[in-house]
Structure 1
Amino acid sequence: MLSVGISNSLQQQSTSAAGSSSSKPSRTSDAAVRAAAAEQRVKKRLRAESEEEVDSDYDDKVDLASTEDEEEFEGESGDDDSDAPLASQKGKSKAKPKTHTLKEIRKQKAESRERKKDPHIASEERALKKKLGRKLTHAEKTTIALQKHHPELKDVWGDLEAKIQIITPVEAEQPKELKVTLLPFQRESLSWMREQEKGVWRGGMLADEMGMGKTIQIISLLVSDRKRPNLVIAPTVAVMQWRNEIATHTDGMKVLVWHGSGRASNTEELEKYDVVLTTYAVLESCFRKQEKGFARKGKMITEDSPVHKIKWRRIILDEAHNIKERATNTAKACFELKSDVKWCLSGTPLQNRVGELYSLVRFLGGDPFSFYFCKACDCKSLHWQFVDHKYCKDCGHGPMQHTCLWNNEILTPIQKNGMVGPGQTAFKKLKILLDRMMLRRTKVQKADDLGLPPRVVIVRRDHFSPEEKELYTSLYSDVKRQFGTYLEQGTVLNNYSNIFSLLTRMRQMACHPDLVLRSKTNAAQFVPGAEEATVCRLCNDVAEDAIQARCRHIFDRECIKQYLEAALEQVPGCPICHVPLTIDLDAPALDLETSGSGPRQGILGRLNIDTWKSSTKIEALVEDLSNLRLQDSTTKSIVFSQFVSFLDLIDFRLKRAGFNVCRLEGTMSPQARDATIQHFMSNVDVTVFLVSLKAGGVALNLTEASRVYLCDSWWNPAVSPQAMDRIHRLGQHRPVQAIKLVIEDSIESRIVQLQEKKAAMINATLSTDDAAMGRLTPQDVSSFVLPRFTVLTFVLLSACFPFQGVYSSSSSRTAS
C-alpha cells in the first residue's frame, strides 16, 4: 500500500512539474522519495519492536508478509539506497528484487529476536537447552519468561512437594450424631477430609469409585462440624436422594431443597438452614440473571443471586465433573461462589481429556496452578479479562503476553508430546498435584470392606437384518460422500456440528431405522405426508379424545377414566411419573395443532403402530429380558439409552411383550423423579426401568435392580461405568450383570474401541500405581490428549474408510 501511494504521488508531482518546466528536474520529487523511505524505515523499526514478544510461528508469518512488502517497494524504487537522489540513479539499470527462502527469513528473524532478547532470559534458555540436549518447546520458553517477573514460579513444583505433605488417611472415630455405622475406609476418608480442611487447599476432591458411599462420607463430615450454612450442588436427579439420606441418617439437621419457581430469595432465610440443596441448572440460571440479566418488557433487568451473596461454611459439588468445561456458565457460576471450605465429589473426575481437571482445581482455588500470569510484568489473575479482547484490565498488556500456568505446565506439553519428553514430565507434575489434593479408592482396593457381589460386563454383538443392513449402507454412503466433500474442500474444521450430526444419525440407525427416517426433522423428507398424532401415554395408541394432566402427560379420556376406576389408592398417582394425579375429566379435548407448542409427543405419534416393525437391537433386548423373566421373575433391570425416542420404541415393545415398565426422563421435576424411583423400588411387579442416560446416568441409587442394559454407546468412556454403578454399589447383595448391546459392522464398534483406549488412559492418570503409565501404548495416549473435534473426525474417518482388526469375536466378557 505504501509503495503504491508513493508511485501515485510521484506521478502527480511529475505531471505538475511538466506543466511548469519540462527541462528542469524536480527537486520536490527527490525529497518525497527520501521522506517516504525514511518513514518506511521508522515504521519497520516500530513494527519489529512491537512484535518482538509475539509467538514465533505468528512472528514468522508477519515477517514473511513484511519482507514481501519490502521487496515490492525495493522493486519499484530501485536498490537499497532508496533515499539517494533520483539524479544519481539515472545511469543505473533497475535492480532485481532480493529473494529469500522461508528458512532464511526465519533464521534472520530468530537471530534478530535473539539479539533483542533480555540477556538473562537468553542465558537461561541456553542453559536449559544445553541441559536437555534439544530445542526448547514454546511452553519451556514461556516458563523461563514467566520466572523473570514471577520468581515464586521458579521452583513451584519442588516447593509443592516440600511444603505440602501427602496426608495419609487414618481411621477416625465413628461420629456419634450419625445413625449409620461407617466402614473402615469411610472413617479413613473422614479423617483425611478433616485434615484437608485445615490445610492450604481448604478442601479437596473425594474421588472414590461410584457406589462406595461418597454421600454418607460427606454427611459424616457435616454432622461432625455443625457450622452452618452448607451448600450442596447436585444433578437434579440426586437432590431428593440427598434430602432422604440426610433425613435418614441424622437427627435435627435442617435441610432446604432450593429448587423451583417458588424458591426463597432472602439470604437471611437461607442462612437458617444447616444444608441447602440445589441443582447446577438453578445455580447457572441465577448467575446468568445476575451477570447478563433477562429481558422483560423490552428491557434487560439484572437480579442478584442469593446463593452468590452468602459466604457458605462449605460448598460441595456432587458429580463435580458437571463443571469440566471451564468456559460454560455452569462452571463460572460455581467459580464465583464464596465459602470457607470447598469439596468436589466425583467417581469420574477425569472423563475425556486432562484439561477437564483444570475446572476442579480452579474451583478449589489452587494457587498458583489455576492463575493466569503475564510475561511482561507481575500481573496475576484468576480471570481471563481483556478490554475489547486487546488489553488486560489489570496491566494493559495484550492476550499474547498472558498464559495460564495449568495450560503451560500440564495441558500443552501433554497435548503436544503425549508421554514423550515434556509430556512425561507434565504427567509427573499432575500426579504431584493430585496426590495432595485428591483421595481416590477403588472397589478392588477396598473389596474386603465393601463385601460387594461380583460384577460381570457382557458385550452382546448382533448383526443387522437384511433390511436394516440395506438402510444403514445407504446412510453410510451418504455420510461417506458428505465427509469426502469436506475433505476435498478442506472444510473439515469448519463443519464440527455437521460431522457430529452425521455420526449421530449413524448411531441412531444402528438402534432403529425409524430414529432417522421418522425423526421430527426427517419425517416429511422420507415419508411424504407424515403427520404427528396425539398419543395416549397409557395405551400408546392415537388419543381420539385427548386430555392433559397437571404433570403435562396426555391420555385418552376413556383410558384415564378406566385407570382411575381400577385404582385402589384414594389419590392415585400418574401412571407415567407417579406423582399424585390431578386431571380434569370434563376438560375440553386437547388440540395440539391450535394450542401451539405442547408437551413432547415422541416418535410414536409419527408411526403407524399397526404396521410398525421392531429392530435387531430391540429384539435382542426383549429376548434377554424374556429369558431372565423365565429364570427369575423378581429380577429387576435398568435399560439406559441416550435417545429418548429410542426409549419410546423400547417402552412400546416391552409393554406389548407383557413387561411392567416405568421411566425416568430429563423433563421430570425432582419430585416426579423421586416418585418414579420409589415406585420402581417398592413394586415387585415393576421389573424394567427405562432411564435416559443424561437424566439418570449419575447419582442414582437403584440397588433393587441387578441387571443393566446399555443400548447405545457414548463417546465419553466414563458414562458406561457411571450407569453400571447405579446398581453395583453399597446395599447390593445380588450378582450384577451389565450388558452392552452393540451392532457389528456399524459405527458402534469404532466407538467401543475409542472408549477402551480412553478408559485405559484415565485409569493410568488417576491411579496411585507409578507403573500404570508405563503400560500405555501411544494409541491409548493419542485418544486421550487429542481435542474432541479431532477424535470425532478420527471416528468418522475410520467409519467411512474401515480398517482391519476392529472386532472379530461375537461376544466378550469382563469380570470385576
Structure 2
Amino acid sequence: MELRRSQCISNARSSGPILRRYIEEENAGESRSIVVDEVIENKDNNEPPMVQVPQQPLPIDNYREKDYKSEMLNETAEASSDFILPLLRFQKEWLAWALNQEQIYRGGVLADEMGMGRTIEAIALVLAKRELQQNGFVFSQSPLPSSSEALPLIEGTLVICPVVAITQWVNEIDRCTLKGSTKVLVYHGADRIKNWEQFSKYDFVITSYSIVESECRNMSNWRDRNCEGPGFVRQAKHSKQVKKNKSNAMPALHAVKWQRIVLDEARYIKDKRSKTTQAVFALESTYKWALSGTPFQNRPRELYTLIRFLQINPYSYYFCKHCNCRVLQHRYELCSDCSHDFRDHFNWWKKYIAKPIESSRSNDICGKKTMILLTHTILKNLVLRRTKIGRAADLALPPRIVSVRRDFLDREELDYYETLYKEFQAKYNRYVRENTMGDHRFEIVGLITRLRQVTNHRYLVEFSQKEELNAEDLASSAADKQESGICHKPEEDPVDLTSNKDVRDDDDKIMVKYFRSSRILKNIELENFQTSTKLEALREEIRFMIERDGSAKGIVFSGFSLFVDLIYYSLYKSGVSCVRLNENMSQDARDAVVHRFNVEPDCRIFVMTFMAGGIALNLTVASHVFIMDPSWNPALELQALDRIHGIHGIGQYKPTRFWFLLFSILKLKK
C-alpha cells in the first residue's frame, strides 16, 4: 500500500510525527495550494496529545468563528493490495485521515451521509493497517487510560452492528477483499464459540449489540460467582446455577483486548444509561471507531456517548473539584481514586458543552461561543462527515427528483376526520382548563397520531388493537350510507399490473395464511375491503411508474406497521407483485424477501416501515420511493431515500424519484 501526500507514521523525530497537509485556500477569489508541516508534540510516549483540563471556565472568548469550509484537506492514501474494489477520491481521503487519527486520538467518528459506503471505508482501514504492520511499520500501542494490561491482545477487529446488518457486513467483506486473504467470524447465535483464544485466527469478528449486552450480563454474573467473599455459604439455587453454567471462563468478548472496535449504526448507544451502552463501554481495545450517519439529532448530550466510547480526554471524564483525579464512571458515593465524594466531581462534557448550549437562548452569546468550540475544536478533530451533494463529482449518482403529491379527503373521510378532531379537541381543552397537560402528554401525542392515521385509512382507528377511543361510536356518527366515491366502495375487480401470474398463483396459500395472521386484516371482512384516498393515490402512481418504465421497481414506506399490512393487501388484490418487510422478521425471512425483490423482475414493489428499512438494506435495483406519511424524525425519511440512492447504486443509470403522498387539511396546518 502506498501513502500519498501524507506521511502519517514517523519515528525519526523525537518530537512526534509530522503531518503534511495540502490545503487549498481561497482569498479574494484566488485559489492557491500551501503546504503545512505540523509537528504533533508528544512529550509522553505513553500518552497521546490531549487537551488540558480547565480548572476555570473555558476561555471561550479566545475562540473566534472561522470559515472552515474554505479549507479542503487533500491527503489521500491508497488501499491495501488485498482490497480489490477501487476507492473513490473521498474514500482515499478518509483512509489517510483515519490512519492519522488512530495515531493521535486512537479513533474517531465516521459520519458520512447514508449511502456513501461507510462499511467499505471501515473495511479499507482494517486492511490498510494490517498491510502496513506486515511491512514493518511500527504504530503506537499505548493503552487508553482505563484499559487493563492483564487482558490478552487480539490482532483483530470487532465489528458490533444490528442483527440485520451482520449479513451485509459479511457480504461486503467478501465483495471487497481478495479471496482467501481475510478471515471472518460471525459471533452470533447459541452455538457461537466459547473460547476467546479462537478469536486470534480471524481478521474480523462480527457480532450484534444484543450479544454484547448478553455477554456483559454474563460477565457480571461471572464476577459475582468468583468473588464470593469471606464466610460465603452457597445456597442451593446458586449451586444449581453454577452447575448449569459448567464453564467458569469469563465471557469471550470481554475477556480480551481487541486491536480495534467498530460500532456500526452507533446511534444504538445513544442513551448512556442503557445496558447496551454500558456493555459496549466495558469492552477493551487499542483503537475505537463509531460509524453513524446521524451522530446526534436533538441535543449535544446524544453525542456524549460516542465521545465517552472513544475515551477522549478531557471530554469523556468526570473531574474532581479538589484534586487532579479523573474517572470515566460515576457509580459510587466515594471516588475510588481520590476518596472524595462523587458530588464533588463534575462531567466535563455536561458542564462545558451540554448545559451552555441547551440552556442558551437564540441570542445568547455564551451559547453561540460554546457551539463554536464544539464545532471547530471538538467535532473538527474527532468527526469526519461528507455529504452526497458535497461529493457529487466523486459519486456520479443518478439525478434525484423529489415530488409532493397533495390530495384531499373525500366527503366521508373528512366527516370521520372531523368527528375525531372535535372529540380530541374537547379532551385537549379539558386538560388545559384542569391544568393537567403534563399528566396527559402521552395521551395527547396518541390523539394526534390517531388523526394522522385517519388520513391514511379509517381502519387504522377502527381496528387497532391499542385503540383507546370508542371507535364504534365514532364510526356510527359518520355517514351511515357509503358514498359512490372510489374511496368507500369495495374494491373493483383487480387489474393485473404485471405480466406474470404464476408467481401470484404460487403465493396464494402463503398470502391467505399471512392475511389471517395480520393484526388488522384478520379483523376485517376482506371480501368487502374498502380502499382509501391515499391507497388509490399510491396505486395510481405505481400504474404511472410501470407505464413510463416497464422494468421500474419501487419501495413504499410508512411509519405505521398496520398500514403496511393494508398497503400490502391492497396492492396484492390489485395484481401488483410485491413483498413486505417488518421489524419482527427473522434474519432468514428478511434475506429471502430482499433477494426476491432484487432478483425477480416481476416483483415490483417492496412495502416496509421506516424502522424495518432504515438500516442494512441495499435496494438500488429500485428507482422509485413512495413516502405514505411523513415521519416525526426527518432522519428516518433520509434513510428511506438512501435505500436506493447510495454508493451501491454507482453505475445505476435511472433517475431516482421520491414521492411524498400528503393531504391538504387546514386544521393540520394551524
Q: Please report the TM-score for the alignment, with normalisation by the length of structure 1.
A: 0.61
1:174–1:182 Cα contact (<8 Å) kept: yes
The reply to whether residue 506 of structure 1 matches residue 451 of structure 2 is: yes
The reply to whether residue 234 of structure 1 matches residue 138 of structure 2 is: no
Relative to structure 1, is the Cα distance of residues 150 and 632 closer, same or farther in structure 2, using a 3 angstrom cutoff? closer
Secondary structure in 2 aligned to 1:229?
strand
Of 359, 367, 378, 1:416 maps to 359
2:112–2:118 Cα contact (<8 Å) kept: yes
What is the Cα deviation at residue 526 of structure 1? 3.1
The one-letter code matched in structure 1 to 2:89 is P
Of 263, 280, 290, 2:192 maps to 263
Equivalence map 1:390-789=2 (5 Å): 401-419=344-362, 420-431=364-375, 432-522=377-467, 525-527=470-472, 601-730=518-647, 731=649, 732-745=652-665
Cα-to-partner distance string for 1:453-472 (whole Å, 9 max, x where unaligned) = 11122222222222222222
**Equivalent-residue separation in structure 2 for 1:711 and 1:246 (angstroms):** 35
Q: Pick the structure with more helix per residue.
A: 1
Which deviates more from structure 2 when the two are superposed, residues 698-707 or residues 344-353? 344-353
**Equivalent-residue separation in structure 2 for 1:364 and 1:691 (angstroms):** 34
Equivalence map 1:198-213=2 (5 Å): 198-199=103-104, 201-213=105-117
The one-letter code matched in structure 2 to 1:347 is G
1:240–1:671 Cα contact (<8 Å) kept: no
**Equivalent-residue separation in structure 2 for 1:206 and 1:604 (angstroms):** 43
What is the Cα deviation at residue 703 of structure 1? 0.7
Secondary structure in 1 aligned to 2:155?
coil
**Equivalent-residue separation in structure 1 for 2:345 and 2:374 (angstroms):** 21
The one-letter code matched in structure 2 to 1:411 is A
2:183–2:204 Cα contact (<8 Å) kept: yes
**Equivalent-residue separation in structure 2 for 1:159 and 1:720 (angstroms):** 39
The one-letter code matched in structure 1 to 2:93 is E
Of 324, 332, 343, 2:289 maps to 343
**Equivalent-residue separation in structure 1 for 2:336 and 2:578 (angstroms):** 57
Equivalence for 1:284: 213
Secondary structure in 2 aligned to 1:476?
helix
Secondary structure in 1 aligned to 2:623?
strand
**Equivalent-residue separation in structure 1 for 2:201 and 2:509 (angstroms):** 35
Relative to structure 1, is the Cα distance of residues 733 and 279 closer, same or farther in structure 2, using a 3 angstrom cutoff? farther
What is the Cα deviation at residue 402 of structure 1? 3.7
**Equivalent-residue separation in structure 2 for 1:708 and 1:321 (angstroms):** 24
What is the Cα deviation at residue 508 of structure 1? 2.0
Secondary structure in 1 aligned to 2:393?
helix
The one-letter code matched in structure 2 to 1:359 is T
What is the Cα deviation at residue 489 of structure 1? 3.2
What is the Cα deviation at residue 263 of structure 1? 2.5
Secondary structure in 2 aligned to 1:316?
strand
Relative to structure 1, is the Cα distance of residues 617 and 242 closer, same or farther in structure 2, using a 3 angstrom cutoff? same
Equivalence for 1:119: none
The reply to whether residue 185 of structure 1 matches residue 90 of structure 2 is: yes
What is the Cα deviation at residue 150 of structure 1? 6.2
Equivalence for 2:303: 357
**Equivalent-residue separation in structure 2 for 1:153 and 1:238 (angstroms):** 45
Unaligned 5+ segments in structure 1 are: 1-148, 531-561, 577-589, 593-598, 751-801, 803-816
The one-letter code matched in structure 1 to 2:170 is R
Relative to structure 1, is the Cα distance of residues 160 and 193 closer, same or farther in structure 2, using a 3 angstrom cutoff? farther
Cα-to-partner distance string for 1:577-614 (whole Å, 9 max, x where unaligned) = xxxxxxxxxxxxx9x9xxxxxx9632101111122211
The one-letter code matched in structure 2 to 1:426 is T
The one-letter code matched in structure 2 to 1:258 is Y
What is the Cα deviation at residue 566 of structure 1? 7.6
The reply to whether residue 197 of structure 1 matches residue 143 of structure 2 is: no
Q: CA RMSD in A?
A: 3.6
1:168–1:192 Cα contact (<8 Å) kept: no
**Equivalent-residue separation in structure 2 for 1:564 and 1:281 (angstroms):** 37
Of 164, 170, 183, 1:243 maps to 170
What is the Cα deviation at residue 154 of structure 1? 6.3
Secondary structure in 2 aligned to 1:246?
helix
**Equivalent-residue separation in structure 2 for 1:480 and 1:565 (angstroms):** 46
What is the Cα deviation at residue 496 of structure 1? 4.1
Relative to structure 1, is the Cα distance of residues 527 and 260 closer, same or farther in structure 2, using a 3 angstrom cutoff? farther
What is the Cα deviation at residue 746 of structure 1? 7.3
Equivalence for 1:218: 122
Aligned residues: 538
Tell me which structure has the larger Cα radius of gyration. 1
Equivalence for 1:324: 270
What is the Cα deviation at residue 282 of structure 1? 2.9
Equivalence map 1:3-14=2 (5 Å): none
1:267–1:306 Cα contact (<8 Å) kept: yes
Secondary structure in 2 aligned to 1:233?
strand
The one-letter code matched in structure 1 to 2:522 is G
1:511–1:646 Cα contact (<8 Å) kept: yes
Relative to structure 1, is the Cα distance of residues 494 and 566 closer, same or farther in structure 2, using a 3 angstrom cutoff? closer
What is the Cα deviation at residue 184 of structure 1? 1.4
The one-letter code matched in structure 2 to 1:204 is G
Relative to structure 1, is the Cα distance of residues 396 and 499 closer, same or farther in structure 2, using a 3 angstrom cutoff? farther
Equivalence for 1:48: none
**Equivalent-residue separation in structure 1 for 2:107 and 2:348 (angstroms):** 21
Q: Please report the TM-score for the alignment, with normalisation by the length of structure 2.
A: 0.73
Unaligned 5+ segments in structure 2 are: 1-51, 131-153, 225-235, 476-500
**Equivalent-residue separation in structure 2 for 1:156 and 1:360 (angstroms):** 25
**Equivalent-residue separation in structure 2 for 1:458 and 1:519 (angstroms):** 31
1:230–1:274 Cα contact (<8 Å) kept: yes
2:644–2:656 Cα contact (<8 Å) kept: yes
Cα-to-partner distance string for 1:5-55 (whole Å, 9 max, x where unaligned) = xxxxxxxxxxxxxxxxxxxxxxxxxxxxxxxxxxxxxxxxxxxxxxxxxxx
Query: How many percent identity over aligned positions?
Result: 39
**Equivalent-residue separation in structure 1 for 2:616 and 2:466 (angstroms):** 33
